[in-house]
Structure 1
Amino acid sequence: MAAERTAGRHHRRRRQITERIGRTILRTHSTVVRALGALGVAAMAVLLAACGGGGGSSSSSSGGGGGQVAANQVAVTVAQGVQRVANIPTVSVTICVPGSSVCQTVDNVQVDTESFGLRLASSAMSQVLGSLPQEAAAGVPVAECTAFADGHTWGSVRTADVKIGGESAASLPIQVIGDLSPSAVVTGGCASGVLELTPADLSANGILGIGVATSDCGARCAVSPVGNSDYYACPGNTNCVQTLMPIAQQVTNPVPKFPSDNNGIMLSMPAIGPSGQATATGTLTFGINTQSNNALPGSATKFTTNPYGDVNATFAGSATTAFFDSGSNAYFFTDGTLANCSGAASSFYCPPSTVTRTVNVASYNASTSGAPGGPAVSMAVANATNLLANGNFALDDLAGNLGGAAFVDIGMPFFYGHNVYYGLDQSGSGGAGPFVAF
C-alpha cells in the first residue's frame, strides 16, 4: 500500500513558509515558503502516482530534456529516488570544503522552484560534513529551523563551495539537516508539524531551492524583533535561542552566486502520456538570455511575481494567488466538487474519470485581486487510486486537496512538456524584478 505524505509540503519539498498558507519554508512568513514542495506520496509496495494529461497553458513552448548537457546545465531526473515517491525531480550537487579539493557529490537532491537555498541531509554528506565551517552570529554557531508545508527541517548552517553541473558558487551558506538534536532548541520553539531530518523524511537527500528570491529569509531574520527569525544561536551546538542573522550569512540561493549565468533558471521537462512514465529526464539550465540555450522566446507567457514567486489567480470564480512549484509533486487546490480518495491516498482526488480544472493567472498585483481574463492553465485530475498500480514515477495529472486553503499550487505535473523560466529578484540592486515565464 502506498504511504502518503501530507499535502502541502513539497518542500517538499516544499516551499518555505513565508506568508502563504501552506507553503513551505523559505518563505518565512508565508504559509509555506517552499510551499507544498515536498508533498510526496511515498509508495511502498505500490506507488501513489499522478496521472497523465497535465497542465497546458497559453504558451506554445515545449519542454525537453535528456541528452548532452552544456556547462550551464545539469540533468534532472524523475524516478523512484530514495523512497519511491512520484514526481520528485532531482539533480546531483557537489559539496566541497571551501577553497579545497575535498568534495563529495550528493545525488537525489530535489529541485524546488518555490524555496530558496540548498539544504542537504547530514547523512548524505558525511564525507565532508566535519570539515565545513559553521556560520556564526556574534561568534556563536548558528542553526536554522525551516518550515515547509508538510513539516520542518532543523540543522546547522555551514559554508561550502557548491558545484552544480559546470557552475560553481564559492563559500555558500547551506543548511545541514539533521546534524543537531532538536532538543537543543530552548527558546522560540521550532516550526510545528513533522520534523524532517533524514533522506527518508525528505524523500530526497536534500532540497535545492532555486526560486526567485536570493536568500531564504531576508530582512525578517536580519532585523528586530528576533522572535520572527528562523535562525538560532547555539553555543556548543546546545541551548539554542533565536537570533538575528545578516542576509549575507543566511542560507542562500546558489544561482546568484555563480560568476555568470546567474540571473535565473529554466527547468525543462519532456511531455509524457496520460499513464505517465517510469522515469523522465529533463534539464535545469542556469541563466536567462545569457547563452543560446537559455533564450527566453518572445512567444513565452511572462508574469511578474511577488518576492516569493506568487502570481494573481482566479480559480472557480474566486480571486486567489497561485505559484508554479516543482517542489510539489501534484497540483494542489481546494475543490469541494471532487471526491477525495480513501485510505493512504486520502489527500488526493479520485474522480471516476479524468477531469480538468482551470486556473487563470496574471502578474502579481497586491492592489488588484484575481486574474480576470488572464491566460488559463489547465490541470488534469485523474483518479489517484487507479494510478497506484501503474508503477510510474513521472505523472502529469495527479492532484490533491488543500483542505480549505485558497491558493492554487501548480505543482510538478505542470512542468512536463514545458520550459519554465524563473527570473531572480534583482530589484534590490537596481535590476529586474522577479518573474516566471513559460
Structure 2
Amino acid sequence: MLGINGKWIRALGAFGLAAAIALVAGCGGGGGGGGGSGGSSGTSSSTNGTSSSTSSVGGTAANNQIAVTVSSGLNLALKAPNIPMVSVTVCQPGTSICQTIDNIQLDTGSYGLRLTKDALGTFLSSLPAETVSGGKTLAECAGFADGFSWGSVRLADVRLGSELASNLPIQILGDISQSAFGSGAGATPSNCSSGTLNDTPSSLSANGILGVGTARYDCGSNCVTNLTNGMYYACFSTPSCAQTTVPLNQQVGNPVRSFAADNNGIALTMPTVTSTGVSTATGVLTFGIGTQTNNVQPSSGLVRFQTDVYGDVPQAMMTSIGTQTYAFFDSGSNGLFFPDTTIAQCSGSSFFCPATTTTRVANLTGYNAATSAITLNIANASTLIASNGFAFDDLGAYLDPATSGIFAIDVGMPFFYGRTFYFNYDAVGMGNQGVVSNTYVSF
C-alpha cells in the first residue's frame, strides 16, 4: 500500500490475487524462485505437492520488537498469500481500557493505523471521535489503486509490543455511510468514487492496516492548506460531510513516529523461504535504528538508498520495461508488481504465469547516487497457489499503468524474505514532498 498521487497500491495486490485464484486451472507450467540469505531456520515437509513447511527467524521478542507472521492469517478461505500480520493493542486514551486485535497487515508503504469497525466491535465506542471546527467529526477517504476506504478518524493509545503512541489519530474503516458525501466542495472525490470499498476484513484480507512507512502523516501540508484535498472531511451527525483542511497533529499518522523512544525508524527481518513457498513464515519488526543493541545497522553488506519522504527510489531501470521508472519497497504489496508485458499472465488475471521461473533485474539509483541491482524471481502463480502455501518469494504480477495510474516497480513482500530492511525516518517528517527520507536495504 503506497501513497502515490493520492492512491495506495496495497489493495491492488489482494484484488488481483482473487482473480488469479478463481482462474487457477487456466494456468500451466510451474517452477520456483530464489529468496535472499541468512537469519532463518525452519522445517518443511510436502504431501502430494502441498506445502506444509514453516520458516522463522526465531528468538524471543525484545521490548522494542513484535512478531510478524505470514500464514493463512485471517481466514483460510480467503487464500491471500504474502500478507504479513501483526497484533496491535488499542486503548481508550489515557486509560487501561484496551483491546488487542490480531491479523493487522504490516505495511511499509503507507502511514498510519486503520482498523475495520468489524474488528473493533463494541470497543469502537471507547475511542473518542476526532473533531474539527464546530464539533464536526473528522473523517477520511483513502484512495487505493483498485478502490478506496472511508470512515471516521478517532483517537487511541496504540501499543506495539512495549512501545506506546499516545492519543494517536487512527482511521476506522466502514463506520460512516458512503451516502454522507456532500455536494459542491464536498463532492465525492475521484479517488473515492469507483472501485472496491475496502472497509471489511474480507475486502482487506486483514482486520486493518498498520502503516509504518517513511512519512509521518498520511497527507501532510496539502491537507493543512488545501480545502479540496480529496482526503479529509468534516461530518455532521446526520451524517453529511464536506471536505476540510486539517492540522498535521490531527491527521492519521505513523504510530512509530509518536513513540517516546525508538522512533527514528524500523527494521523488518524475515526468514528465507523455499522456492515453492512455505505455509508459515515468522519474522520480527524492530523499532528504532541505533537506539538499542538489537537495532544497530551492520557496518558492511548494507546498500543505502536515499528516497523521497514517501519512500520512493527515484530511478529504476529494467531492460524488459525499456523506460526509466522509479521503485519502492512495500511489504503491503503481496507480490512483485511491475509493467512488464513480456511475461505470460495467468488467464483472466494480472498475475504472472510463466512456463518456467523467470528472472528480471532492476537497477536502482537513490537520491544519494547509490546504485544497486536487485533480482526479482517470477514463478508460475497458479502453481504456487495450488501448493497451499502462503509465503512466496517469487509471486509477481503485471502493474498496468493505464488502470493504476502508477508506472513503477513495486518491490513487494516476496523480496523481503531472507533479508533485513531498515527504513530510517527523516528528521523533519512533515510529510511534504521534497523532504528526504532514507531507506536502508540489506542484501
- The two structures have a TM-score, normalised by structure 1, of 0.86
Kindly provide the CA deviation profile for residues 221-267 of structure 1, in whole angstroms up to 9, marking residues without a partner as x: 1102x112400010116111111111110001000111110001011
User: What is the letter of the counterpart of residue 222 of structure 2?
Assistant: R
Q: CA deviation at 1:433?
A: 4.1
Match of residue 53, structure 1, among 5, 30, 33: 33
The answer to whether the 8 Å contact 1:46/1:389 transfers is: no
Q: CA deviation at 1:318?
A: 2.5
2:49 matched to which residue of 1? none
Q: Relative to structure 1, is the Cα distance of residues 47 and 337 closer, same or farther in structure 2, using a 3 angstrom cutoff? A: closer
The answer to whether the 8 Å contact 1:330/1:413 transfers is: yes
The answer to whether the 8 Å contact 2:311/2:438 transfers is: yes
Mapped partners of 1:237, 1:410: distance in 2: 43
Kindly provide the CA deviation profile for residues 77-129 of structure 1, in whole angstroms up to 9, marking residues without a partner as x: 00111232000000000010001111110000000000000000011012421
Mapped partners of 2:31, 2:71: distance in 1: 15
Q: Relative to structure 1, is the Cα distance of residues 252 and 328 closer, same or farther in structure 2, using a 3 angstrom cutoff? A: same
User: What is the letter of the counterpart of residue 292 of structure 1?
Assistant: T
2:232 matched to which residue of 1? 231
2:224 matched to which residue of 1? 222
Kindly provide the CA deviation profile for residues 133-163 of structure 1, in whole angstroms up to 9, marking residues without a partner as x: 1111102111100012232111000000000
Match of residue 364, structure 1, among 363, 367, 370: 367
Match of residue 354, structure 1, among 357, 361, 386: 357
2:382 is the counterpart of 1:385? yes
Structure number with bigger Rg: 2
The answer to whether the 8 Å contact 2:316/2:327 transfers is: yes
1:101 matched to which residue of 2? 96
The answer to whether the 8 Å contact 1:313/1:361 transfers is: yes
Please give the residue correspondences for 1:38-437 in structure 2 after superposition, counting only pairs within 5 Å: 38=14, 41-42=17-18, 52-54=32-34, 65-82=57-74, 83-138=78-133, 139-186=135-182, 187-190=186-189, 191=192, 192-224=194-226, 226-236=227-237, 238-299=239-300, 300-311=302-313, 312-316=315-319, 317-343=322-348, 346-364=349-367, 374-404=371-401, 405-427=406-428, 433-437=436-440
Mapped partners of 2:384, 2:230: distance in 1: 42
Secondary structure of 2:356's aligned partner? coil
Which structure's residues are more often strand, by fraction?
2
The answer to whether the 8 Å contact 1:397/1:413 transfers is: yes
The answer to whether the 8 Å contact 2:137/2:234 transfers is: yes
User: What is the letter of the counterpart of residue 262 of structure 1?
Assistant: N
Q: CA deviation at 1:301?
A: 0.7
Mapped partners of 1:425, 1:37: distance in 2: 28
Mapped partners of 1:331, 1:337: distance in 2: 15
Q: CA deviation at 1:280?
A: 0.4
1:24 matched to which residue of 2? none
Q: CA deviation at 1:15?
A: 2.1
1:25 matched to which residue of 2? none
Which structure's residues are more often helix, by fraction?
2
Mapped partners of 1:99, 1:153: distance in 2: 28
Secondary structure of 1:220's aligned partner? helix
Q: Relative to structure 1, is the Cα distance of residues 164 and 272 closer, same or farther in structure 2, using a 3 angstrom cutoff? A: same
User: What is the letter of the counterpart of residue 422 of structure 2?
Assistant: Y
Secondary structure of 1:301's aligned partner? strand
The answer to whether the 8 Å contact 2:90/2:159 transfers is: yes
Q: CA deviation at 1:426?
A: 1.8
Structure 1, unmatched stretches of 5+, are 1-13, 20-27, 366-370
Secondary structure of 2:350's aligned partner? coil
Q: CA deviation at 1:53?
A: 2.4
Secondary structure of 2:179's aligned partner? helix
Q: CA deviation at 1:414?
A: 0.2
Q: CA deviation at 1:65?
A: 2.5
Secondary structure of 1:240's aligned partner? strand
User: What is the letter of the counterpart of residue 158 of structure 2?
Assistant: V
Secondary structure of 1:125's aligned partner? helix
Mapped partners of 2:286, 2:262: distance in 1: 9
Secondary structure of 1:388's aligned partner? helix
The answer to whether the 8 Å contact 1:38/1:150 transfers is: no
Q: Relative to structure 1, is the Cα distance of residues 53 and 126 closer, same or farther in structure 2, using a 3 angstrom cutoff? A: same
Secondary structure of 2:57's aligned partner? coil
User: What is the letter of the counterpart of residue 406 of structure 1?
Assistant: F
User: What is the letter of the counterpart of residue 8 of structure 2?
Assistant: V
Between 1:185-194 and 1:316-325, the stretch displaced more is 185-194
User: What is the letter of the counterpart of residue 123 of structure 2?
Assistant: V
User: What is the letter of the counterpart of residue 436 of structure 1?
Assistant: T
Q: Relative to structure 1, is the Cα distance of residues 291 and 39 closer, same or farther in structure 2, using a 3 angstrom cutoff? A: farther
2:8 is the counterpart of 1:32? yes
Mapped partners of 1:280, 1:336: distance in 2: 31
Q: CA deviation at 1:170?
A: 0.5
Mapped partners of 2:11, 2:118: distance in 1: 24
The answer to whether the 8 Å contact 1:322/1:409 transfers is: yes
User: Number of aligned pairs?
Assistant: 400
User: What is the letter of the counterpart of residue 395 of structure 2?
Assistant: L
- The two structures have a TM-score, normalised by structure 2, of 0.85
Secondary structure of 1:228's aligned partner? coil
Percent identity of equivalent pairs: 50
1:9 matched to which residue of 2? none
Mapped partners of 1:338, 1:260: distance in 2: 46
Mapped partners of 1:39, 1:201: distance in 2: 8
User: What is the letter of the counterpart of residue 201 of structure 1?
Assistant: S
Q: CA deviation at 1:436?
A: 1.2
Kindly provide the CA deviation profile for residues 142-195 of structure 1, in whole angstroms up to 9, marking residues without a partner as x: 110001223211100000000011111110000000111111112330423211
